[in-house]
Chains A and B, each alone.
Chain A
Amino acid sequence: NAGVTQTPKFRVLKTGQSMTLLCAQDMNHEYMYWYRQDPGMGLRLIHYSVGEGTTAKGEVPDGYNVSRLKKQNFLLGLESAAPSQTSVYFCASSPRLAKNIQYFGAGTRLSVL
């Protein structure tokens, strides 16, 4: 039972490069989320999705785009990476009828040089 799987686990980018982080969940959850975690801070919500084909902005959406083409996948894109996007990224999912319980992936550590 995989739960929420994030790929890759680690990545180093140069400023200006682009990349996509993949989040996959096998629990048939409707809600999915992308957070970033920075030292000394809690998690901050970047974007979220309440269902296939829908996305919405969170607290810190600038510089990121997302897509939810399939219910089980939620992609986070960085079109032109900046050093300020160096962070640990967490994906989470929750079922619609119990949306207050989020299941998290193991995180992706991203460094932008």
Chain B
Amino acid sequence: AQKITQTQPGMFVQEKEAVTLDCTYDTSDPSYGLFWYKQPSSGEMIFLIYQGSYDQQNATEGRYSLNFQKARKSANLVISASQLGDSAMYFCAMRERGDFGNEKLTFGTGTRLTIIP
């Protein structure tokens, strides 16, 4: 089974509308973390938001919020009032403990978001 699944390869959204990017995950580790990163066309990876598995509230960072539904194993990114500069690839990722106590970091395949003026 895929550890991180992003089912939307591409999305087109009108400027100023809200956007939800889907992410589902699979893990048996009770202690894990979920992240979203943005990768603009320039190529750099930019950290957006983090949610810990034990966090009671959904994480928020400015216009970004993470809709964490633990029972459904989903961690969707919500961008409010989208802007042209939000056009980029977005990656969902998970940190969990590996088989030998090491770190396991898994990224999804990404969603390309295009904001239409």
Contacts and interface: CB of A to CB of B under 8 A. Distances in A.
Interface of A: 33, 35, 40-45, 48, 50, 56-59, 88, 90, 92, 100-107
Interface string B24-48: 0000000001010000000111110
B102 interface: yes
B44 A45 contact: no
Contact of B107 (A42, A103, A107): A42
B81 to A, nearest CB: 24
Nearest to B89: A42
B112 to A, nearest CB: 11
Contact of A101 (B47, B105, B108): B47
Interface of B: 4, 33, 35, 43-47, 50, 52, 91, 93, 95, 102-110
A43 B107 contact: yes
A103 B103 CA distance: 17
29 contacts: A42-B4, A42-B91, A42-B106, A42-B108, A42-B109, A42-B110, A43-B91, A44-B107, A45-B103, A45-B104, A45-B105, A48-B105, A56-B102, A57-B102, A58-B103, A58-B105, A59-B104, A59-B106, A100-B35, A100-B50, A100-B52, A101-B47, A102-B47, A104-B45, A104-B47, A106-B43, A106-B44, A107-B43, A107-B44
- Among B4, B47, B105, max chain A CB count under 10 A is at B105
